Every structure is written in C-alpha cells, then in structure tokens.
Chains A and B, each alone.
Chain A
Amino acid sequence: MTPSRVPASYQPLRQFKNRVATGLITAGGIAVLLAILAIGVFLFWETLPLLALDKTFAFDKLSPLVWGTLKAALAAMLFALPIALGAAMYSALFMSARLRSRIKPTLEMMEAMPGVVVGFIAGLVLAPWVERNLASTLVLLVWLPISAGLAGVLWHMASSHWHRRLPFSWAGLWLVPWLVGMVALAVWLTPLLEQLFLGGDLRRWLEQRWGMDYATRNALIVGIAMGFAVIPSIYSLAEDALADVPLSMMEGAQALGASRWQALWKVALPAAGPGIFSAVMIGMGRAVGETMIVLMASGNTALLSASPFEGMRSMASAIAIELPEASPGGFTYHHLILAALVLFLFTFLVNTLAEAVRLRMRRRYHKAGHY
C-alpha cells in the first residue's frame, strides 16, 4: 500500500520537508500508540504494591465485586440476547428494505443513550414501579413472547386483505401498538390473578414460600436497564453479520425446499455464527464495564447472592464511588486499581476474541468471493 520507492526529488527543500514530516508523523503515531499502551502499564504498576500485602485479603475484597459484575452482566445478557438477536434476524432477513433503512439507524441511536439517563430512569422510575408491580413485571416477561406468537396465529388466520394491509415485512412497526395493548392488558389483569392465586401479594408469597428477599434495586432492574443499553450494539453487529451472509446461500436452501425460517436457522445462522459470537462478546464487554447504570440501579450491595431480587456491586461502580476518596498510595487505592486492571484485562480479552473471530469470518467470505 505504501509506495516502496520515493522518486528522487530535485528540490532539496521538498525532500527535507518530506523527511521531517514523515519523522514527525512516525514519532507522533508511535507516541499515541505508546500512550495507549501506558494505560495497561500504569494499571499493572499501581497494583504491584498489593503483592507485598497478604494476597488473600485483596482477593477477598475483590470477589464480591467480581461476582456482582458478572451477575449484572449476565442479567443484562439474559434480557438483551433474545431481543437483540431476534431483532437482528428479523431485520436482516424478513424486514422490508425501506423499513430497515429507517429502523436500523434508530436502534443504533439507542446505543448513544447515555448510561446516566438510563440509570436514572431505572433507579428512580423503573425500580419503584417494579417493586409495586412485581407480579405484572414477571407476567410481562412471559406474556410478551406469547402475545407475539398470538399475533402470528391471528395473522395467519386472517384474510389476505389483512395480509396486504399489514404485511409481515412491516410487522416490526405495526406490532408496537399491539404490544402496547398487551402490556396494558397484563398490567390490568395481573393484580386480579395475584388476588386469586397468591393471596394478593406475590412478594409476601415469595417470602413465605421460598424465603426470598426482595431489594428495590436488584439484578432484575439492572438486567432490564443494562440490557436496554447493550441491545443496540449486539443488534447492530449481529445484523451486519447476518446481512453479510451471501443471498445465494439462503436462496439455494430455499430452492432445496427449506422454509425461510429453516434456511435462516440451518444456513444463515451457522454461516454468520462467528459474527454473532463476536457481537455477543462485544455486548458482554459493554455490560461488564458499564458504570452509571449499575451505580444507580443496583443498590451497590456487596453480596455474593444469586437471587435475581437482590442487589450487587460491580467493580466499575465501586471504582466510581470510592476512588475519588481513596488517598493515593493507600490500600483502597491500589485495591480499586486492581479492580480496574481486572476490568481492563477482561474487556480487552473479550474484545480480542471477538475481533479475531470476526477477522477470520471476514477472510472466509473473502475466499468464497462473496464479501
């Protein structure tokens, strides 16, 4: 790509300027790359004093944080993965091109929603609402997928007149009011059901039957809020991967008698597998490092509990709260920097994995001549 030979110039000044500029760019470029490298070096350097201390102590303090981080990330992925991947499959393979050109940027814009706004809504609006309507929330998690299926059944039963007016390729849009109706229905009906079967109060039932505690700010809330935040990045990358699968492969499968869904499931998904995997990894990396949402919506309880109704404290939020107060050089300071190092290494590894897989896939298609 770089021309290997620069032709001899007859103007020494130009040549000189060229050399100086090249040198400057090289120096600048290397300096920038070194600065980036310095992050890792700094984090390593600052955790070294911990080695002098009793090792188990640092790890004892770190383990609830690591657990909290993973729990929060896991909750977020449980919520985000089905939605993001489902949305990616629909918009890559079923959605009308016109709608897709509008929806995709819209959903990608979701990614830019600042964490502090999402966290604020989750902590101060969603959490109290869920606490008051816990049963409705849980019912919604089950009811929404069922209602989507219901919409499908109704649509297939409807006449072709309706099929033309509400085509499936636009379903992503016209299902929105349907879902709103279904949410309203569930929120209205659930208290009645709760009255009938659970003696009017799910939380009391949970407490008495299973001894389950309920904290206002818990993994459920964090999962929903952070799930909301990572959906767009997973969606966008997975959608790209699916859309990159050569059309001829899908068409071939369908020509051989597969339904569109079978073609998607047996052909497109395996082909886009590495891309989807890297999308999931990148989403995971985001969920692990997200600070403000966990800080505002998790209750910051340093607990080692697996209950979805209990809070957690993540490494990122512990750093954000405690580091400004930690005096440089003290134990807390080094300990928090260790947490930062763990975060750094974890996300770096996850992203490298994702990137490597993505590059390999790219090369594979490149060979097949499709990319």
Chain B
Amino acid sequence: MSRLFAAAPRHRLDKLWPWLCAASVALSLLMLSALLTLLLVRGLGHFWPATLEEITLRSGSVVAGQAIRETPLPQEAGVERLYFKGNRDVDGVSWHWVDIDDITSRTTPHDLIRLERAPWGSFIGRLAAVETDQQSLHGHEAWDYLNNALTLPANQRPPGQLLLVTAQGETLRQPLDSVSQALAPNAMSWWQKTHTWGTNVWQFLSEGPRAANTSGGVWPAIFGTVLMVILMSVIVTPFGVLAAIYLNEIAHQNRLTRLVRIGVRNLAGVPSIVYGVFGLGVFVYGIGGTLDSWFFSDTLPSPTFGTGGLLWASLTLALLTLPVVIVATEEGLARIPDAQREGAVALGATRLEMLTRIVLPMATPAMLTGVILAIARAAGEVAPLMLVGVAKLAPQMPVDGEFPYVHLERKFMHLGYHLFDTAFHGEDVQAAMPLVYATALLLVVIILVLNLTAIFLRHYFRRQRGSEC
C-alpha cells in the first residue's frame, strides 16, 4: 500500500475533483429548488387577480386583456406579447399576440371588468348596464347589483341581463344566471386581491372542474386520489404484513426463502406500467368480466366490474406497493432480537401469542413506515391507472348517499392523471396551463407531506427504540 501512494504523484487535479463532486450536490439542489419554485410561483400566481390592460395598437384597434407572456420573434429582432382577451363568443378567439413595437398606448383603466360565464368562458370589457324586469341600472349601481346577485346561487337570482361592452365597442347581452364570477381587478386594493386569491384557491380545492376541465377546481380528483390510496392501504397492509410474518417468522429459513425474499425485493423495482398491464388483463378483463357475467348479466352490455374502476385501481396499486410493505415490515421483524421471542416462548406463550403480544407491537413502527412509503409511492403513480380505471371526468363520486354508499366499480378522477389530461388532451393548453401548474403543485405537496411523515415517524420510532430496547 505504501508504495502505491508513494509512487502516485499528488496530481494538481486532485484538488479539483472534490469540487466537481460538491458541485453535483449543489446542482441537484439547484434543480430541485428550481422545479419547486417554478411550481410554487406559477401554481399559486394563477389565483391572484391579474391586472387587466387596455392597449391601443398602431392600426388603431384597441385590445383589453391580461398580459400572459412574452417571447422573442423567431425571425427578426423584437418581442411579442400574448394577451388573454376572453370574449370568445364575440370574435371566436380568446388570445391575441401583439408585437410590442405595435403598441402605442398601454393603460390599466379601473372600470375594466372580468366575468366568468358559461358556456363561453371569460369576458373582459366594461359593464354598461344591468337590465332587470323593473329597472335599468348604470355605473356603480349596476356593479353593486351584479355583485349582490352573484352572492346567490344561479337559480335563485332575479331574472335579468347584463349589457356588456368590449374594448372594441361591441355590445353583448349576458343573462345574469350564466355568470359565476365578476371582478374589477384594476380597482381592487391589495387586501381585496389577497382575499380574492384566498377564495380562488379555496374554490380550486373544493369545486369540481368546469368547461371540460379547462377551469374550475380539482376536488373530485383530490377525493379520488385520497380514496384510492386509502382503499389501497386497507388492502395492502394486512396482506403485506401477513406475507412478511410468514417469510420471517414461520417459513423455514433456507435457500428457497432467501430466493423468495430477493424476488419480492426485486418486484419493488419492476416498472409500475407492468403492474398496470397485469391489472388490466387479470382484474379488469379476467375477474371483472367474470363477475359481470355471473352477477350483472342483466345490465350487460353495460359493464359493471368489467371495466376499469376504483376497486381494480386500488388492487393494482396494492400489488404494486406490496413489496414496499413486505420489505419494510421484514426489516422491522428482523431487527427484533431473538431473545425477545425465546423469552416469550420460554414463559409458555404459543407462537400466536408470541407474535401478537411481543413481535408485532415491536414491529409496528416499521410497518407504519412501510405503509406510508407505499402510500407516497401510490399517490404519485399515474401510468398503471391509465389502464385500470381512471377517468377524465367522473362527476359521480365513488362515495355518495346512494346505497351501498361506496361504489367500488365506479371510475374515479386522480390528480396525476388530471394533470396529464389537462396538459395533453385539453382543448386549449394555453388556457389550462395555470391549472396544470396548480394541480402539479398540489400533487407534489401531498406527496412531500406523506414522505415527510414517513421520515419523521421512522426517525422518531428509531430513536425511541434505540434508547429503550
């Protein structure tokens, strides 16, 4: 050894390599934080009531809208800006690209308003009047009347219509009951904006999607994700623990057990899509199809269990996370000193008593960690779900007041799939982008919280046991 090092000259570069290693850590941290910052800023920024601009172009036309982003022109020098101008019912498009050099004036008038309506989406322009059966209101009165009416649910509002004027001067009439939100962001104080931001975030979390997933919230997706994960853990916990106990406590420890153990461990590395294929072939087509032909033949050809659904998705994910739970529980079981078991047996306990009173309680933290890790993995999986039962839109929740309250055969919405779907299948990616960011942020937050819980629990229990057992 000594000759080896004496012969090797201390190379100058030896001092630099560690810096490259340090930079790797820094780069990983940088990428992670860049990703999280991007999600945070875009995801939360969307709910902030954006300033509406009114710009006059060199051609003389006037555009009112929200500035979205700027890109350099591909061929010549210069920058163009994208405006969201709404009003699709007026001229068929809701976006406008403007060459910045073409803008002659740019103002933010306080009377510009933004309405959300069905089915045509946003309106950006001015409120000229509110016409009801008895009266016609203008100016502030009209605005106050509108805001009062909006506090009522759509079907209880007094009949009436809004007289709206776009920036170009076209007028249109909008029935009062088709409007869901009205804002005058330029006239709002910082505090009002914060309030609106809070309301918007809450709506995003608590409402269902609207207008074919291009607006509205993600509540059904949150609910579907959580319900599926709960079902999955209910399935995976007993089976995973059972298998671990069998492997560690009951089976003879020989070559076969070792092989099985390696096999189980490796299954954790098998791609999730393979589990999805299995779920589709065996659960949906195999078991589901058979169940249908036995019990639900009267509703055929409409399938009940023979199509993807909550139950099959949970089962597939349970299978997927089974190795995680088995491995974690086994680790916990292996950590328990044999003396504990021998002591129990020596005192006359049967194996069952030894297991339930001594071994399992001591392995509980490990099981818990395993289950939480399984949950964290399952919550982020999308690929297998695309095969076994996730839906683009399932307004009918899998849990409702209808007997038997939990409908395991129903399709469900999932945050991850919702994200994929809005980003790649939606009508207008540009419009859906902010919602995609918000959904991504939500998914990441949920998963991070689950993981943190797992790390915390593991840490806590290890320390506790480390000092006392």
Verify whether A and B have any Cβ pair under 8 Å.
yes
Is A18 a contact of B351 with CB atoms below 8 Å?
A: yes
Cβ-defined partner of B15 (8 Å) among A7, A86, A152 = A152
A172-B281 CB under 8 A given contacts A26-B250, A262-B14:
no
**Complex Cα–Cα for A8 and B5 (A):** 65
Stretch at the interface among A60-68, A205-213, A345-353, A362-370: A345-353
Give a binary string over A88-123; 1 marks a CB under 8 Å from any B CB, 0 the rest: 011100110000000101110110111111111101
Is A3 a contact of B30 with CB atoms below 8 Å?
A: no
Is A109 a contact of B448 with CB atoms below 8 Å?
A: yes
Cβ of A195 under 8 Å from chain B:
no
Is B281 a contact of A38 with CB atoms below 8 Å?
A: no
A43-B277 CB under 8 A given contacts A87-B25, A114-B416, A179-B26:
yes
Interface size on B, residues (CB 8 A): 110
Report the nearest A residue to B17, measured CB to CB: A261
Q: Which residues on A sit within 8 Å (CB–CB) of B451?
A: 109, 112
Is A343 a contact of B273 with CB atoms below 8 Å?
A: yes
Q: Which residues on B sit within 8 Å (CB–CB) of A228?
A: 31, 35
Give a binary string over A308-333; 1 marks a CB under 8 Å from any B CB, 0 the rest: 00000000100110011000100000
Is B280 a contact of A323 with CB atoms below 8 Å?
A: yes
Q: Which residues on A sit within 8 Å (CB–CB) of B30?
A: 176, 179-180
Cβ-defined partner of B348 (8 Å) among A7, A261, A286, A352 = A7
Most chain A beta-carbon neighbours within 10 Å: one of B10, B72, B247, B278 = B278
Q: What's the nearest-Cβ distance from chain B to residue A130, in Å?
A: 14
Is B416 a contact of A86 with CB atoms below 8 Å?
A: no
Cβ of A160 under 8 Å from chain B:
no
Cβ of A276 under 8 Å from chain B:
no
**Complex Cα–Cα for A18 and B350 (A):** 6
**Complex Cα–Cα for A351 and B379 (A):** 24
**Complex Cα–Cα for A43 and B412 (A):** 27
Which residues of A (1-50) have their CB < 8 Å from a CB of B?
1-3, 6-7, 9, 14-15, 17-18, 21-22, 25-26, 28-30, 32-33, 35-36, 38-39, 42-43, 46
Is B271 a contact of A114 with CB atoms below 8 Å?
A: no
Q: What's the nearest-Cβ distance from chain B to residue A334, in Å?
A: 10
Cβ of B270 under 8 Å from chain A:
yes
A35-B319 CB under 8 A given contacts A1-B338, A178-B26, A291-B273:
yes
Is A39 a contact of B25 with CB atoms below 8 Å?
A: no
Cβ-defined partner of A94 (8 Å) among B21, B278, B423 = B21
Cβ-defined partner of B28 (8 Å) among A43, A83, A156, A178 = A83
Which residues of B (1-58) have their CB < 8 Å from a CB of A?
1-2, 4-6, 8, 10, 14-33, 35, 38-39
A46-B19 CB under 8 A given contacts A288-B271, A343-B274:
no
Cβ of B154 under 8 Å from chain A:
no
A324-B243 CB under 8 A given contacts A153-B16, A172-B26:
no
Most chain B beta-carbon neighbours within 10 Å: one of A107, A173, A288, A344 = A344
Give a binary string over A235-265; 1 marks a CB under 8 Å from any B CB, 0 the rest: 1000000000000000011001111111001
Is B19 a contact of A152 with CB atoms below 8 Å?
A: yes
Is B383 a contact of A316 with CB atoms below 8 Å?
A: yes
Which residues of A (276-312) have their CB < 8 Å from a CB of B?
282, 285-286, 288-292, 295-296
Is B251 a contact of A29 with CB atoms below 8 Å?
A: yes
Is A179 a contact of B2 with CB atoms below 8 Å?
A: no
**Complex Cα–Cα for A266 and B376 (A):** 39
Chain A interface size, as a band, is 35 or more
Is B281 a contact of A46 with CB atoms below 8 Å?
A: yes
**Complex Cα–Cα for A42 and B270 (A):** 15
Q: Which residues on B sit within 8 Å (CB–CB) of A2?
A: 249-250, 252-253, 341
Cβ of A148 under 8 Å from chain B:
yes
A316-B420 CB under 8 A given contacts A110-B32, A351-B266:
no
Is A149 a contact of B19 with CB atoms below 8 Å?
A: yes
Cβ of B267 under 8 Å from chain A:
yes
Cβ-defined partner of A112 (8 Å) among B277, B383, B424, B448 = B448
Cβ of A185 under 8 Å from chain B:
no
A168-B274 CB under 8 A given contacts A17-B352, A38-B282, A176-B26:
no
Q: Which residues on A sit within 8 Å (CB–CB) of B250?
A: 2, 22, 25-26, 29
Q: List 6 A-B contacts (CB under 8 A).
A: A3-B351, A38-B278, A84-B24, A116-B420, A180-B30, A261-B17
Known: A29-B245, A350-B269; 10 extra A-B contacts, CB below 8 A, are A32-B239, A33-B247, A89-B18, A110-B32, A114-B381, A117-B416, A118-B35, A151-B23, A343-B274, A347-B271
Q: Which 8 A-B pairs have the closest CB atoms?
A: A289-B271, A29-B246, A114-B380, A148-B23, A86-B24, A152-B19, A172-B25, A90-B21
Which residues from chain B sit less than 8 Å from chain A, CB to CB? 1-2, 4-6, 8, 10, 14-33, 35, 38-39, 71-72, 239-240, 242-243, 245-253, 260, 262-278, 280-282, 285, 319, 322-323, 326, 338, 341-342, 345-346, 348, 350-355, 376-377, 379-383, 386-387, 416-417, 419-420, 423-424, 429, 433, 436, 440, 443-444, 447-448, 450-452, 455
